[in-house]
């Protein structure tokens, strides 16, 4: 009996990583943090809903963001090392820098719109179940959304000639 339980447990550990459902993400809000020499530094806060029946940790994230389907931002790599509780919602912070050469054309193109669309593509390294520590590296990330245009415009005010 113990051998059968052990084998069943071993098989479930091997199958489990493929059963991790992708957490659902939606924009919570975005905040302009800095306007420095590199550009406009923002933190985008995402509400992440983990529908899995087990905790999932986001260890490392490597993504690239495209704004308005046209302008690609520099790649971002960061390590949030944040656990997403099972059947729960967590707010996760993601850093974004919009380089100064893109700010003017981006604001001009979106002048008649209240928002700026984005697409984030890349990969994340995740761990499922704290006690066992099952890891899945290079988990695909491909999300779309929008941020308020006014936040970018306010950060650029006084820095760019309009």
Mean of pLDDT values over 119-132: 80
pLDDT of residue 103: 93
pLDDT at 112: 96
pLDDT tens digits, 55-108: 888 888 888 989 999 999 989 898 989 998 989 998 888 888 899 999 999 999
- Residue 144 and residue 113 in contact, taking contact as beta carbons nearer than 8 Å: no
Specify whether the CB–CB gap between 76 and 96 falls below 8 A: yes
Would you say the pTM of this structure is higher than 0.75? Answer: no
> Is the confidence at residue 30, as pLDDT, over 70?
yes
pLDDT at 123 over 70: yes
Full set of structural domains in the chain with CATH: 2-156 (2.60.40.1820)
- Residue 34 confidence class, pLDDT cut points 50, 70, 90: confident
């Amino acid at each position: 009996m113990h051998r059968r339980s052990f084998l069943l447990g071993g098989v479930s550990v091997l199958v489990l990583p493929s059963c991790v459902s992708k957490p659902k993400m939606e924009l919570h809000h975005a905040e302009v943090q800095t306007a420095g020499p590199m550009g406009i530094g923002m933190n985008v806060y995402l509400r992440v809903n983990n529908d899995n029946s087990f905790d999932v940790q986001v260890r490392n994230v490597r993504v690239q963001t495209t704004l308005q389907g046209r302008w690609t931002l520099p790649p971002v790599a960061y390590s949030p090392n944040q656990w997403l509780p099972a059947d729960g919602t967590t707010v996760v912070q993601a850093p974004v820098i919009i380089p100064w050469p893109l700010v003017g054309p981006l604001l001009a193109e979106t002048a008649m719109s209240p928002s700026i669309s984005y697409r984030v593509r890349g990969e994340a390294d995740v761990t499922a179940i704290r006690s066992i520590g099952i890891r899945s590296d290079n988990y695909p990330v491909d999300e779309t959304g929008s941020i308020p245009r006014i936040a970018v415009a306010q950060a650029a005010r006084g820095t760019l000639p309009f």
